[in-house]
Amino acid sequence: MSKILEIENLTVSFGGFKALNNLNFSLDSGELRVIIGPNGAGKTTFLDVITGKVQPTKGRVLFKGKDLKKIPEYKISRMGIGRKFQTPRVYLNLTAKENLDLVCNRKKNVLPTLFGQSDHSEQRTVAGLLETIGLDKRANLLANLLSHGEKQRLEIGMLVAQSPDLLLVDEPAAGLTDEETENVGALLLSLAESHSIIAIEHDMEFVRQIANDKVTVLHQGALLCEGKMDEVQNDPRVIEVYLGEAPENIEH
Amino acid sequence: MNSETGIQTKKRKRKNKVIETSVIIALFIILAVILPVVIPAFRLRLVGRFLSLAIVALGIDLIWGYTGLLSLGHGIFFALGGYALAMHLNLQIPEGKIPEFFTLYGVEKLPWIWQPFYSFPVTILALIIIPGIVAGLIGYLVFRNRIKGVYFSILTQAALLVFYNFFNGQQELINGTNGLKTDTEKIFGVLASSPNAQRGFYVTTVILLGLVYLLCRWLTSGRFGRLLMAIRDDETRVRFSGYNPTGYKVLVFGISGAIAGIAGALYTVQTGIINPSIMQVAFSIEMVIWVAVGGRGTLIGAILGTMLVRLAQTSLSESFPEIWLFFQGALFLTVVTVLPDGIVGWFKDYGSPKLRSLIRRDQPLVTYPSLVEDPEVQQERDEIGGRR
Amino acid sequence: MSTLLEGLFNGISIGSVLLIAALGLAIIFGLMGVINLAHGELIMLGAYSTFVVQNIFKLFGDPWFDFYIIVAIPVAFVVSAAVGIILERGAIRFLYGRPLETLLATWGVSLILQQFVRSVSWLLVISLGIFCLLFFGGMQLVKSRTDWQRVKTKAIALLLPLGAAIAIAFYFLLSKNSALSTPWFSSRNVDVTAPAWLRGGTDALGFQIPYARLFIIGLTLLCLLGVYWFLQRSTWGLKIRSVTQNRTMSSCLGIPTAKVDALTFALGSGLAGIAGCAVSLLGSVGPNTGQNYIIDTFMVVVVGGVGNLLGAILAAMGIGILSYLIGSGTLALVLTNLKAPQSLLDFFFFFASSSMAKVMVFALIIIFLQIKPAGLFPQKGRTAEL
C-alpha cells in the first residue's frame, strides 16, 4: 500500500523549546489514524507543520512523495490536505450554505472567483453535503446562530467540500454531547471510506469508536508507541505517561 | 420542503432588489435632475463636494467594512486623483507655454511627469489607475508578509505622512505647499469655476457615485464578497481552505484606492484647488469615521454617514470653529463605543423592528426548523403571529 | 570624521526622545494590543506641563528656577499618567479585543486634547467642573438607590445631556467675561527656557555637544533602567508581564487584570509625559507637537517588535540616526568627502531635508519588513499567531 504522508526526523523548536523532537511517522493512503497524547505532547504543532503553518526546523514532511518545505498553506491545501481546527472555525457572518459554497469553489484564484458563478455540479455538491452533515434545514441560517455541535459538523463538511485526500481533524469531539460525539464518529468513519484521515483526540470512548486501524501516541514531541488500540492501551509506557508520576511533566 | 423555502427566499430577494433599484433611481433623479434646479449654485457645489467624499467613503467601506482592513492613508489616493486632474487643467494653455508657477522656481522646461497629462483620456485613465496601482503596491508589500490589523493601519498612516512630505517638498515639480489651482483654469475651453462647468462636475459626480455604488454592490454580493467577509472574520481559515488571501486583499485595496482617486479628482474641481494639506493625517481618519457613523459593512451607510457628518461639520464649524473639534472627537468616541454598527446597523437591529411593530407589520420570528415546519405552528403563526 | 560623529550624536539624541515615547507605546501595545493614537497628545501634555512648571518657578526667582526641570519631570509624568488612566477607564476598557475601533476612539481623544490645549481657560475648566459635579455627583446619588441597575441607563440618558447643557449654558453666559475666558496657552507655540546649566555645551569630540541633548540621553537611560527594573523586579511588573502573556489565566489566578490594565496605561502614558518634557527642551511647543513625533514612534514599535525592550532600543536608535544622517545631509557630505560617484551623491542630496528623509526612512522600513515582517524580535511559539 502506498504511503500518503511520510514524516522523517522532524524537529520543530520555538526559541530553544522543542515542540517536536526527531519524529518519524507515516500514514498509508486510506488509513484512519488516531493520535493521542497528553497536553503539550506536540499534537497541534504536528498538524501545524503538515499544513505549512509552521516550518520544520529539521527533517521533512512528504505528502504523496512531495516535500512540503516552504510551500504556503493555501497551496498545501490545494494539494489535498484539509484541516479542521480544535475550536470550530467557520465563517460566522455567512450562512451554512455560503460557508460550504466558498470552500467548494474549485477555481480559487482571484479573478475566477470574482467573475465566476457557482456552477450546477458545485451547487449539487453543496446540497448533498448539507444533507450529509444534517444541516439542510439550516442552510440559510447564519453560522453564528448554529449550535456548537452544528458548527463542528459544518466545519467537517467544509473540509470535505475541499475534496482533499488527507483530512486532519483536531479534537472533533471536544465540547459535544455523547449523542453528538457518536454522530461525528459515524461521520468520520463514513468519510474514512474514501479519505485518509488523521484525527487527534482526547476522548478515549470516542477513540475506541473510530480507531479501527492504528493509534499513535505522542509524548514530549516524540513518538511513544504505535499499534492497535488494545496494544496501546496496555502498553506500560502509555499508562505511565497518562497516569504515572511523570516527573518530567512539560505541560504548561 | 427545502426547495420551497429556497423559492421563498428567492422571491424575497427579488422583491428586495426591486425596492432597492427603485430607491436608487428615485435618489438619482432627485440628486441629478431636481437638486440642480432647486438650490443655488454655491450650495450645489457644496453638495457636489459631499457626494465626491461619499465616493471615497464607499471605497473605505469596501476595505474596512467588508474586508476588515482599516486604512488611515486614503488621503494618498484621493490626492493622487486630484493632482492628476488638476495637472490636466493646468496644461490648458497655449502651445509651448508652461504653467505660471514654474517660473517662480526657475523651471523652464515642463517636467516629463507632466507630459502625459496634455491628453484628457490619458488623464482620466491616470486618475483611476495611478492611485489604484500605488494602493495595490503598498498593499502587496504589506499583505504578502501577513502584516495586518493595527500594524497595517499605522503603516498606511506612515505612508500618508511620507506622501505628504514628498508633495510638500517638491516645489519644482508640483508647486509644493501651494498646490495647483483649478478654478482659474479651463476644461474643454470653459472656465472650471463657471456655473456651467460646475453643474457638469456635479452631474458627473452623481453619476459616478451611482456607478461606484453599483460596482461595490457587485463586488460585495457574490462569492467574491463573501470571501472578503471570510478574510475579515478568519483569515487563517481562508488560507487553509485553499485561497491565498494576499491576492484578494491587494485587489480590493487597489480598487478602493482607484475609487478614492476618482473621488479626489471630483472633489478637487469642485473645491478649486488641490494642495498637500489634503493628505493631512486628520482628513484620512475622518473618512473612516464617515463610514463608521453610517454603518460599516453597508454601502448605503457609507454614503449616508458622509453626508450627515459633513453637513454637521459645515453648519457647526461655520459658527463655532472651536467646538467642531470637540464635537468631532466626541463623535469618534461615541460612535465606536455606543453605536459600533453605525446608524444603518442600529436601524436594522432596533429601529426597523420598532418601526414595524408601530405599524403592526412585525417580521415573523425565526425559530427552530422543526417548529417552523410544524403545520400547526404555521397556522397559528398565520393567525396571530403575523399581526399581533 | 567629526561631522559623522556629530551626526551620530544628534541622531542618538533624536532616537532617545523616540525611545522614551515608544517605550510607553510598546508596553501598552504589548499588554493590550492597543495602539494609542492619542499618545502624541500625551507627549504634548507633558511638554505643556513642563511649560507651566517653568512659569511657576519663574515666580520664585533665580536660584530656584535652575532646578525647575527636576520638578517638571515628575509633574509631566503624573499629568500624562492621570490623563492616561482617565482615557483607559473612560473609553479603552470598553473596546478590548477591538483594536481597530480603539484606534478610532483614541484618535477622537487626541482631537479633543489638541483643541483643549488651544482653548483651555479658567472658564472652560470651571464649566468642566460643573459638568463633572452634575453628572458624577448625580450618578453617585442615583447609585445609592436600591434599583440602581434598573435605572442606570435612564439616569445616564437624563444626567448626561442635562449636565452638558447646564455646563455649556454657563460657558456661553460667561464667555464675554474676558478675564475668565482668556485662553491659557492659545494656539500659538510656547517656548520653554532651559535652565542655565542646560544651556551651552562642551567641545569634547571636536564638535559642540549641547548639554540639553546630553541631559535627554541621560534621562532616556534613566527611564530605560526604571522601566526595566519595574517590569522585571517589582511585584506589579511581574503581574503586568503575566497578563501580557496570558490574560485569562492571570485573571483566574486572582491577578486584578483591570487594575493591571490601568496601571500599565498609566505607566505608558507617564513615559509619554517624560518624553514631552524632553521635547520641550529641544524647541518650542504647540498643540500639534505630538503629531510630529507620533508616527516615528509608531514606526519604532513596528520595527522593534512587541514585548522586547532591546528591539525598541535598536529600532529607536536606528530610526533616529538614519533620519538625522540623511535629513541633515551629513551622509551626503561624508560621501562627497569620500569621492563617491556623482549619481549616488545626487541621490542622497535629493533626500537631504528633514521631510525627504522621512520618505527615505519609510522606504527602508518597508524593505526591512519584507525581511522581518514581525519586527526585530518576533514572538515565537504556537500562541504567536492565530
Quick: pLDDT tens for B204-262. 999 999 999 999 999 998 889 999 999 998 888 898 888 999 999 999 999 999 999 99
* C-alpha dihedral sign at A13, A19, A21, A25: negative
Both B107 and B176 in one domain: the answer is yes
Q: Does C381 touch chain A (CB under 8 A)?
A: yes
**At which of B288, B318, B339 does a domain end?**
B288
Q: Do B49 and B157 fall within a single domain?
A: yes
Interface test with B, best of C29, C96, C103, C294 (most B CBs within 10 A): C103
Cβ atoms of C29 and C306 closer than 8 Å: yes
Q: How far apart are CA B43 and CA A223, in angstroms?
A: 76
Domain-by-domain residue ranges, chain A?
3-90+164-243, 92-145
pLDDT for A55-84, tens place per residue? 888 888 888 888 888 888 888 888 888 888
Beta-bridge mates of residue A84: A169
Q: Which of B226, B227, B369 sits opposite A137 (nearest CB)?
A: B369
Q: Which residue of A has its CA nearest to C386?
A: A53
Backbone angles phi, psi at B178, to 5 degrees: -70, -30
Chain A residue numbers touching C380 (CB-CB < 8 A): 14-15
The closest alpha carbon to B250, from B125, B128, B146, belongs to B146
* Residue among B226, B242, B370 minimizing CB distance to A74: B242
Q: Which of B288, B317, B337 is the last residue of a domain?
A: B288
Q: If pLDDT is split at 50, 70 and 90, which confidence band does C353 have?
A: confident
Q: How far is B246 from chain C (nearest CA, A)?
A: 14
Helices and strands (DSSP H and E) totals, chain A: 10, 10
Out of C111, C116, C365, closest to residue B328 by CB = C111
C233 touches A: beta carbon within 8 Å: no
The model's pLDDT over B274-291, given as tens digits with 9 standing for 90+, comes to 999 999 988 999 999 999
Q: Has residue A98 got a pLDDT over 80? A: yes
pLDDT at B139 (0 to 100): 93
Q: What is the pLDDT of residue B13?
A: 73
The alpha-helical segments, DSSP class H, found in B222-367 are: 223-233, 235-240, 245-271, 281-294, 299-319, 321-338, 342-346, 352-358
Verify whether the Cβ–Cβ distance C380 to A44 is below 8 Å.
no
Confidence of residue B39 (pLDDT cuts 50, 70, 90): confident
Q: Which residues of B touch A97 (CB under 8 A)?
A: none
H, E, C per residue of chain C: CHHHHHHHHHHHHHHHHHHHHHHHHHHHHHHHCCCCCCHHHHHHHHHHHHHHHHHHHHHHCHHHHCCHHHHHHHHHHHHHHHHHHHHHHHCHHHHCCCHHHHHHHHHHHHHHHHHHHHHCCHHHHHHHHHHHHHHHHHHHHHHCCCCHHHHHHHHHHHHHHHHHHHHHHHHHHHCCCHHHHCCCCCCCCECCCCCHHHCCEECCCCCCEEHHHHHHHHHHHHHHHHHHHHHHHCHHHHHHHHHHHCHHHHHHCCCCHHHHHHHHHHHHHHHHHHHHHHHHHHCCECCCHHHHHHHHHHHHHHHHCCCCHHHHHHHHHHHHHHHHHHHCCHHHHHHHHCCCCHHHHHHHHHCCCHHHHHHHHHHHHHHHHHHCCCCCCCCCCCCCCC
Q: Averaged over B327-350, what is the pLDDT?
A: 86
Asked if B66 reaches chain A (Cβ–Cβ under 8 Å), the answer is no
Give residue C238's identity as a one-letter amino acid code: L
Q: Does the CB of C97 have a partner CB in chain A at under 8 Å?
A: no
Closest-CA distance of chain C to residue A119, Å: 33
Minimum-distance CB partner of A94 among B229, B244, B248: B229
pLDDT of the residue at A134: 81
Q: Which residues of B touch C91 (CB under 8 A)?
A: 333, 337
Inter-chain residue contact B325 with C369, CB threshold 8 Å: no
C373 contact A CB<8A: no
- What is the overall mean pLDDT for chain C? 84
B1 and B95 part of one domain: no
> Which top CATH class is C2-120+183-371?
mainly alpha
Is residue B120 scored above 70 in pLDDT?
Answer: yes
Give the start-to-end residue ranges of the domains of chain C.
2-120+183-371
B44 torsion bin: left (phi>0), alpha (psi -120 to 50), beta (else): alpha
CA distance A54 to chain C (A): 9
CA distance C207 to C209: 6
Question: In this structure, are B52 and B31 located in the same domain?
Answer: no
- Residue entry with cell 411593530: B357
Task: Give the C-alpha separation, A236 to A232, whole Å.
Answer: 9
Q: pLDDT tens digits for B130-150?
A: 999 999 999 999 998 888 888
- Whether residues B119 and B145 share a domain: the answer is yes
Most confident of A160-174, C143-157, C174-188: A160-174
Nearest by CB to residue B251, choosing from A103, A110, A141, is A110
B47 and B178 in a single domain? The answer is: yes
**Mean pLDDT on C34-46:** 90
The set of residues, in sequence order, having a beta carbon less than 8 Å from that of A173 and lying 6+ positions away, is A181, A184, A185, A201, A203, A206
Domain co-membership, B27 together with B166: no
A3-90+164-243: CATH homologous superfamily? P-loop containing nucleotide triphosphate hydrolases (3.40.50.300)
Tell me A169's DSSP state.
Answer: E
Among B63, A90, B148, CA closest to C385? B148
Whether B54 maps to a domain, the answer reads: yes
Mutate which: B1, B12, B243, vs A, most A CBs within 10 A: B243
Q: Are A36 and A215 in contact (CB under 8 A)?
A: yes
Do B249 and B133 lie in a common domain? Answer: yes
Give the single-character DSSP code of B105.
G
Contacts of C278-281 spanning 24+ positions with Cβ under 8 A: C278/C16, C278/C17, C278/C20, C278/C216, C278/C219, C278/C220, C279/C17, C279/C43, C279/C46, C279/C47, C280/C46, C280/C47, C280/C50, C280/C51, C280/C192, C281/C69, C281/C192, C281/C194, C281/C198, C281/C212, C281/C215, C281/C216
Nearest residue on chain A to C380, alpha-carbon basis:
A14
Nearest Cα neighbor of B229 from B378, B67, B117 is B67
Confidence of residue B379 (pLDDT cuts 50, 70, 90): low
Q: Alpha-carbon distance A104 to A122, whole Å?
A: 7
Interchain contact, A116 vs B230, CB within 8 Å: no
Q: Between A74, A91, A114, which is nearest B229 by CB?
A: A91
Mean pLDDT of C260-271: 91
Q: Per-residue pLDDT tens for A175-217? A: 788 888 888 888 888 888 888 899 888 778 888 888 877 888 8
Task: Look at residue B386 in the predicted model and tell me its pLDDT.
Answer: 45
Neighbours of A (≥3 Cβ pairs closer than 8 A)? B, C
pLDDT at residue B325 in the model: 84
- Is the pLDDT at B385 greater than 70, yes or no? no
Tell which of B245, B264, B288 closes a domain. B288
Q: Name the pLDDT band for B4 (thresholds 50, 70, 90).
A: very low
Residues C10-34: what's their mean pLDDT? 86
Residue B171: pLDDT over 50: yes
Q: What is the pTM of this model?
A: 0.87
Least Cα separation, residue B109 to chain A (angstroms):
43
Whether residues B154 and B127 fall in one domain: yes
Pair B1, B75 in one domain: no
- Rounded to an integer, what distance in angstroms lies between the CA atom of residue C118 and that of residue B170? 31
Q: How high is the pLDDT of residue A251?
A: 45
- Residue C19 zone, left/alpha/beta (φ > 0; ψ -120 to 50; rest): alpha
B16 and B141 in a single domain? The answer is no
CB distance from C382 to chain A under 8 Å? yes
Residue C155 has pLDDT above 50, yes or no: yes
**CB of B234 within 8 Å of any CB in chain C?**
no
Residues written for chain B:
388
The span from the CA of C141 to the CA of C145, in Å, is 7
B241 and B223 co-located in one domain: yes
CA distance C385 to chain A (A): 10
Percent of chain B exceeding pLDDT 70 equals 90
Q: Which domain holds residue B178?
A: 43-288
Look at A91 and B247 and tell me if their CB atoms are within 8 Å. Answer: no
Q: How confident is the model at residue C380 (pLDDT cuts 50, 70, 90)?
A: low
Q: Tell me whether A17 touches chain C (CB under 8 Å).
A: yes
CB C321 within 8 A of CB C8: yes
Has residue C237 got a pLDDT over 90? Answer: no
Tell me: pLDDT of B129 over 90: yes
Q: Which of A135-139, C293-297, C346-350 has the highest mean pLDDT?
A: C293-297
Closest residue to A91, CB basis, from B219, B234, B370 = B234
Cβ contact B241–A101 (<8 Å): no
Q: Does residue B155 belong to the interface with chain C, where contact is any CB pair within 8 Å? A: yes
- Chain C residue with Cα closest to A15: C380
Total number of domains in chain B: 2
Q: At what angle do helices C354-371 and C289-304 cross, to 10 degrees?
A: 20
Give yes or no for a contact between C311 and C29, defined as CB atoms under 8 angstroms apart: no
State the CB neighbour count (10 A cutoff) for residue B308.
15
Nearest to B244 among A53, A74, A162 (CB): A74
